[in-house]
Amino acid sequence: MAITEASPAATAPVDAELLASVTQFLALEAKLLDEGREEDWLELLDEELLYVVPIRLATEDRADEIQHGAFRIRDTKYHVRTRIQRLATRHAYSEIPPSRTLRVVGSVLVQRTADADIVEVTSALLVYRQRGIDDHFDLIPCRRNDTLRLTAQGPRLLTREVVLTEVGIATPNLGVFL
């Protein structure tokens, strides 16, 4: 499944029920991850998940900023599951104690696709992160371009492209999910 390309300037109106379902989904994800319930979050990921954090550069043309073939992370569900297993070993030291996080999700745009079961969603995410015994905090700003699969059990995350606002990130690692 290809990662979502840039959305058109105007989005067609979507019905309130769909918008509510999507925003509820994004809020639930954020809450589960803030509460350290990664196993529950894993349940919200489609089996065909592709989760990508591309590398961003300072370039003259905006179109060249996001290096779509170059990435910090390119995870399938297998990779995400393995990361969560590692966090559960009690030896994943960078997350012991777990980062205290607050994920603020906003600017949610939903768009239907030719496939009735698939919607495109973009959202802004600001993660406040205080790690270990740090006396400072990190902010991880990003915009996420997602596709969600609408299932009988609710939306499931099919693809996510996390466009980091920063070129060189100020947090020392991406040991938290975005």
Strands (E) across 25-167 are located at 45-56, 66-76, 100-112, 118-130, 138-151, 154-164
- State yes or no: residue 170 binds other proteins (CB under 8 A): yes
For other proteins, the closer CB: 54 or 155 = 54
Subset of residues 140 to 169 that bind other proteins, contact rule: CB under 8 A = 167-169
> What is the torsional sign of CA 25, 27, 30, 35?
negative
By CB under 8 A, residue 139 contacts other proteins: no
Q: How far is the CB of 111 from other proteins (least distance, A)?
A: 28
Binding mask 70-109 for other proteins (x = CB under 8 A): xxxxxx--xx--xx-xx--x-xxxxx--------------
> Does 172 engage in binding with other proteins (CB under 8 A)?
yes
Stretch that binds other proteins, among 16-24, 37-45, 66-74, 119-127 (CB under 8 A): 66-74
3-state secondary structure 57-74: CCCCCHHHCEEEEEEEEE
Query: How far apart (Å, rounded) are the C-alpha atoms in residues 85 and 76?
Result: 14
Asked if residues 152 and 11 have their Cβ atoms less than 8 Å apart, the reply is no
2, 9, 12, 60: residue in contact with other proteins (rule CB under 8 A): 60
CA angle 88, 168, 87 (to 5 degrees): 0
Residue 38 as a binder of other proteins (CB under 8 A): the answer is no
The answer to whether 132 contacts other proteins (rule: CB under 8 A) is yes
Q: Which is nearer to other proteins, 22 or 80 (CB)?
A: 80
Tokens of 161: 């492209």
Cβ 145 to other proteins shortest distance, Å: 18
Task: Name the strand (E) or helix (H) holding 38.
Answer: helix 38-42
